[in-house]
């Protein structure tokens, strides 16, 4: 569906100074995948998405959507796109903004009201429908941005920082929406700083830094495991005295909660088994950071 | 972009023009018109023995001469640049929409909008001052828009200072024609510089009801349309965010 082939992007200022935003980026994203893009600030995520939409041309290499250059694909098919910055005419009213985008999305005229009402209901925007864009809160503006991206059943959705500004209820609602959009014929790209969100939603996540693809991580339970040590918080209902014997290096956090460092899942499970056989009752085992976060920190060179 | 999209979206583009530019044109036109008509009326009635019809015509000529170009620049500036600067192109062009087609439509709608704004201002003139034929101002708005709007449109594809570049280009041309018209270099440059003087010639001929220099008008409009086409090529070939 999406092919980046040795893509590079260099910005040149008027004074001749150059900044290499993306360098040697090669990646294939098949149809039907929910794919995450993660990276620190300035890693090149926005440039990559700009090239994916044809808003920027690569300095070298090629970007293809279903074999077409991005603008050709979008001009023929359209895509659902939520940009990081929600920018539209501030005088537009929420409902008429959606009508405009529905027309531009080539939704037949007789189906425009139905499509607009559907996304207004899905995104809970009914009480704000007569407000102007400038009167919307950050969260409602984000929901409007998402609503215009969902007006039509697109084969490709690109969501850049989709939960930015959303409250916890709407963050969870957004996850439900994305999960509902999963389809073998639909590709969803999510760029986010929120690694927990990518871990929950994406099938694979590309970690980029300094414009380069550092690694692609599967978020399934096995292949998402980082290569380094893992840290867990273990809560016990009883048997704290057994714990320090099984996990000699454990750090007590109080209230029956302890933090342990293990080499991997095998070691963790073996020691938990030993602990339970010894009579301890385990109430919870929670990784202090997700496996994706662990991978991210390793990939971008930060201490884990 | 399909015909169904275009016809359904046109009213929204016209509405956006009315809110974003039309009100500004009416406001500017009203103020400028008053600042020309009131002192002009006093001077002409005091020093010249004119019939009411002739007085109205003289005031009308002065208003048309001094306002049309300004309306056109207000209307045409920022057609592409405003979307580029604000980032609102992002949602627009994630839809199945070709950028050159979208902005060509915007250019056409803007002409329609400025003609409607001109008619509204004319009707105010008719009520407050007297009747004058709308033909000359509507022709002048159309020709000036095509001549001036083309370069603004082109500049708008790569800079937010589109109107400023137009002022430099047309102002430079007018100054060069006045100061260096006898120079040998100007004899060559006059074919490259915008044919500013043909706007005044056309307006003079239309008001005097004398034959119009058709070649000059074609040059004037052709000059603007060449820039307009160059703008469309820019939109086709250049990435909008660069």
Condensed to tens digits (0 to 9), the pLDDT of residues A77-94 reads 999 999 988 999 999 999
Give the pLDDT score at B189: 81
The yes-or-no verdict on residue B230 having pLDDT over 90 is: yes
Give the pLDDT score at B157: 95
CA distance B18 to chain A (A): 12
Higher pLDDT, residue A177 or A297: A177
For chain A, give the percent of residues with pLDDT over 70. 96
Q: Which residue of B has its CA nearest to A152?
A: B95
> What pairs with residue A212 in β-bridges?
A209
Asked if A85's CB is within 8 angstroms of B98's CB, the reply is no
Q: What ipTM describes this predicted complex?
A: 0.87
CA distance A26 to chain B (A): 21
Asked if B95's CB is within 8 angstroms of A77's CB, the reply is no
CA distance A232 to chain B (A): 42
Query: From the list A87, A99, A104, which residue is nearest B97 (CB)?
Result: A104
The yes-or-no verdict on residue A302 having pLDDT over 70 is: no
* A198 close to A36: Cβ distance less than 8 angstroms: yes
Give the pLDDT score at B51: 83
Give the pLDDT score at A38: 92
Reported pTM: 0.86
Asked if A76's CB is within 8 angstroms of B239's CB, the reply is no
Average pLDDT across chain B, whole number: 91
The yes-or-no verdict on residue A227 having pLDDT over 80 is: no
For an interface test with B, the pick among A14, A72, A75, A82 (most B C-beta atoms closer than 10 Å) comes out as A75
Q: Compute the distance between CA of residue B150 and CA of residue B172 in angstroms, rounded to an integer.
A: 17
What does the pLDDT look like over A104-159, one tens digit per residue?
999 999 999 999 999 999 999 999 999 999 999 999 999 999 999 999 999 999 99
The yes-or-no verdict on residue B1 having pLDDT over 80 is: no
Average pLDDT across chain A, whole number: 89
Q: Which of residues 178-237 of A touch B (CB under 8 A)?
A: none
Report phi then psi at B25, rounded to 5: -65, -45
Q: Which residues of A130-155 are buried (b: 16+ CB within 10 A; e: fewer)?
A: ebebeebeebbbbbbbbbbbbbbebb
* DSSP-assigned letters across all residues of A128-173: GTTSBGGGS-HHHHHHHHHHHHTSS--SEEEEESTTTT--HHHHHH
Give the pLDDT score at B14: 94
Higher pLDDT, residue A31 or A194: A31
* Alpha helices per DSSP H over A156-225: 168-181, 195-201
Give the pLDDT score at B221: 95
Q: Which residue of A has its CA nearest to B97?
A: A75
What does the pLDDT look like over B41-78, one tens digit per residue?
777 777 777 788 888 888 999 999 999 999 999 999 99
The yes-or-no verdict on residue A250 having pLDDT over 70 is: yes
Give the pLDDT score at B179: 86
Average pLDDT over residues A29-36: 95
The yes-or-no verdict on residue A75 having pLDDT over 60 is: yes
Residue A221: pLDDT band with limits 50, 70, 90 = low
The yes-or-no verdict on residue A255 having pLDDT over 60 is: yes
The yes-or-no verdict on residue A46 having pLDDT over 60 is: yes
Give the pLDDT score at A188: 96
Contact residues for A17 (Cβ-Cβ < 8 A; gap 6+): none
Give the pLDDT score at A105: 95
Q: Compute the distance between CA of residue A145 and CA of residue A123 in angstroms, rounded to an integer.
A: 10
Q: Compute the distance between CA of residue A200 and CA of residue A161 in angstroms, rounded to an integer.
A: 15
Within a 10 A sphere around the Cβ of B35, how many other Cβ atoms? Answer: 12
CA distance A54 to chain B (A): 7
For an interface test with B, the pick among A51, A69, A106 (most B C-beta atoms closer than 10 Å) comes out as A106
Asked if B98's CB is within 8 angstroms of A79's CB, the reply is no
Query: From the list A50, A88, A149, which residue is nearest B88 (CB)?
Result: A88
Contact residues for B242 (Cβ-Cβ < 8 A; gap 6+): A56, A57
Residue A222: pLDDT band with limits 50, 70, 90 = very low
Q: Which residue of B has its CA nearest to A80?
A: B94
Interface residues on B facing A, Cβ-Cβ cutoff 8 A: 1-2, 4-5, 8-9, 12, 16, 19-20, 86-99, 239-242
Tell me which chain B residues have a C-beta less than 8 angstroms from the C-beta of A77: 96
The yes-or-no verdict on residue A304 having pLDDT over 50 is: no
Q: Which residue of B has its CA nearest to A101?
A: B92
What does the pLDDT look like over A256-285, one tens digit per residue?
888 888 888 888 899 889 989 988 888 998
* B103 close to B235: Cβ distance less than 8 angstroms: yes
For an interface test with A, the pick among B82, B91, B109 (most A C-beta atoms closer than 10 Å) comes out as B91
What does the pLDDT look like over B136-182, one tens digit per residue?
999 999 999 999 999 999 999 999 998 898 889 888 888 888 888 78
Average pLDDT over residues A226-244: 79
Average pLDDT over residues B103-130: 94
Query: From the list B95, B98, B241, which residue is nearest A55 (CB)?
Result: B241
Average pLDDT over residues B105-121: 95
The yes-or-no verdict on residue A225 having pLDDT over 70 is: no
């Amino acid at each position: 569906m999406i092919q980046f082939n040795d893509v590079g992007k260099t910005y040149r200022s008027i004074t001749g100074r150059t900044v290499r935003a993306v360098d040697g980026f090669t990646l294939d994203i098949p149809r039907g995948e929910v794919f995450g893009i993660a990276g620190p600030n300035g890693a090149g995520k926005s440039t990559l998405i700009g090239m994916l939409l044809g808003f920027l041309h690569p300095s070298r290499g090629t970007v293809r959507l279903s074999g077409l250059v991005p603008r050709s694909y979008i001009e023929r098919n359209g895509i659902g796109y939520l940009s990081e910055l929600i920018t539209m005419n501030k005088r537009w009213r929420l409902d008429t903004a959606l009508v405009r985008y529905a027309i531009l999305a080539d939704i037949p005229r007789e189906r425009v009201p139905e499509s607009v009402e559907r996304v207004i209901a899905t995104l809970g925007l009914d009480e704000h429908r007569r407000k102007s864009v400038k009167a919307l809160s950050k969260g409602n503006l984000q929901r409007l941005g998402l609503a215009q991206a969902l007006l039509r059943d697109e084969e490709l959705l690109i969501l850049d920082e989709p939960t930015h500004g959303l409250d916890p209820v709407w963050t969870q609602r957004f996850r439900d929406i994305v999960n509902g959009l999963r389809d073998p014929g639909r590709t969803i790209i999510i760029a986010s700083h929120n690694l927990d969100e990518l871990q929950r939603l994406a099938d694979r996540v590309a970690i980029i830094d300094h414009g380069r693809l550092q690694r692609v991580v599967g978020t399934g339970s096995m292949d998402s495991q980082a290569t380094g040590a893992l840290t867990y918080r273990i809560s016990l209902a009883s048997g704290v005295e057994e714990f320090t014997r099984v996990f000699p290096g454990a750090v007590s956090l109080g209230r029956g909660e302890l933090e342990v460092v293990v080499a991997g899942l095998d070691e963790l499970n073996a020691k938990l088994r030993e602990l339970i056989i010894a009579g301890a009752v385990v109430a919870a085992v929670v990784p202090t950071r997700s496996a994706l976060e662990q991978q991210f920190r390793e990939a971008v060179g930060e201490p884990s | 972009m399909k015909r169904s999209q275009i016809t359904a979206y046109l009213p929204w583009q016209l509405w956006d023009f009315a809110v974003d530019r039309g009100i500004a044109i009416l406001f500017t036109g009203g103020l400028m018109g008053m600042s020309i008509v009131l002192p002009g009326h006093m001077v002409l009635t005091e020093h010249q023995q004119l019939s009411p019809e002739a007085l109205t015509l003289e005031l009308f000529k002065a208003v048309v001469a001094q306002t049309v170009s300004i309306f056109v620049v207000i209307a045409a500036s920022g057609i592409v640049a405003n979307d580029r600067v604000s980032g609102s192109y992002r949602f627009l062009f994630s839809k199945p929409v070709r950028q050159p087609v979208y902005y060509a439509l915007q250019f056409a709608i803007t002409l329609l909008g400025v003609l409607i704004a001109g008619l509204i201002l004319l009707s105010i003139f008719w009520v407050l001052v007297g009747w004058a034929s709308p033909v000359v101002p509507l022709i002048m708005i159309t020709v000036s828009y095509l001549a001036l709007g083309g370069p603004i449109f082109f500049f708008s594809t790569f800079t937010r200072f589109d109107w400023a570049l137009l002022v430099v280009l047309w102002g430079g041309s007018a100054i060069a024609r006045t100061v260096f018209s006898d120079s040998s270099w100007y004899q060559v440059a006059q074919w490259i510089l915008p044919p500013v003087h043909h706007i005044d010639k056309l307006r003079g001929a239309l008001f005097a009801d004398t034959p119009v220099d058709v070649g000059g008008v074609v040059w004037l409009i052709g000059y603007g349309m060449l820039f307009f086409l160059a703008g469309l090529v820019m939109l086709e070939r250049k990435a909008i965010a660069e």
